[in-house]
Chain A
Amino acid sequence: DQQVKQNSPSLSVQEGRISILNCDYTNSMFDYFLWYKKYPAEGPTFLISISSIKDKNEDGRFTVFLNKSAKHLSLHIVPSQPGDSAVYFCAASGAGRGGSEKLVFGKGTKLTVNP
């Protein structure tokens, strides 16, 4: 049973437009969420995180929104650039940011930004 779901395996957007990547979770004990970006043959790179006490966190072109009642989070990239083309993984954990709970990952969404 998947606790973290990324239902869109792929997304294609035009350069300069907004990319919105979605993630749903089922475990109400999750309270810390992260987004990673991954290029083929490389390890995931941490992008941005959000704690359940917040509903939004912004870092440059990247913003993560959390809707706890819907158990849904999204990553917005504005403006999208061709270099953003990669697979994006959503991850979640419980017991707080420094807690001992392991991260649970979604299957990823492949983003393609077309010039």
Chain B
Amino acid sequence: EADIYQTPRYLVIGTGKKITLECSQTMGHDKMYWYQQDPGMELHLIHYSYGVNSTEKGDLSSESTVSRIRTEHFPLTLESARPSHTSQYLCASRLGTQYFGPGTRLLVL
């Protein structure tokens, strides 16, 4: 069973607010990922990291930013939330098999 955690699980916030979605894993995996998923759609990769101080943008353009200061921690930040950011955000880590956290459902009003 994978030990990967995301907080908060649900977030309702007003337009213009700054938010940080937390993701942490205790498996020591170097590779970590952030995906965005809307209902009925595929998972879109928005950020990934292959280790400390390494971050790359994914296939789907996103206004969010990420940081990787510690191996176990990969937070995602939105400086100014907008309704178009409403989605489910999924964090994952990988050694061989990729494991996902429980996700954060974000609603921006």
Report the interface size for chain B: residues with CB under 8 A from the other chain.
29
Q: Is the CB of B97 within 8 A of A42?
A: no
How many A-B contacts at CB < 8 Å in the complex? 56
Q: Is the CB of B33 within 8 A of A102?
A: yes
Q: Is the CB of B100 within 8 A of A44?
A: yes
Q: Is the CB of B40 within 8 A of A107?
A: yes
Q: Flag whether B41 is at the interface (Cβ < 8 A).
A: yes
Interface string of A36-71 (1 = CB under 8 A from B): 100001111110010000000000000000000000
Q: Is the CB of B97 within 8 A of A46?
A: yes
Measured CB to CB, the closest approach of chain A to B46, in angstroms, equals 11
Q: Flag whether B95 is at the interface (Cβ < 8 A).
A: yes
Indicate the size class of the contact surface on chain A.
20 to 34
Q: Enumerate 12 A-B pairs (CB-CB under 8 Å) in ascending A order.
A: A2-B42, A34-B97, A41-B9, A42-B103, A43-B90, A44-B100, A98-B95, A98-B96, A102-B33, A102-B58, A105-B43, A108-B42
B interface, CB within 8 angstroms of A:
2, 6, 9-10, 31, 33, 40-43, 45, 48, 50, 58-59, 88, 90-92, 95-103, 105
Chain A to chain B: the 3 pairs with minimum beta-carbon distance, closest first:
A43-B100, A105-B43, A107-B42
Please name 4 further chain A to chain B contacts, defined as beta carbons within 8 Å, in addition to the given A46-B98, A108-B40, sorted by A numbering: A41-B9, A43-B103, A100-B50, A103-B45
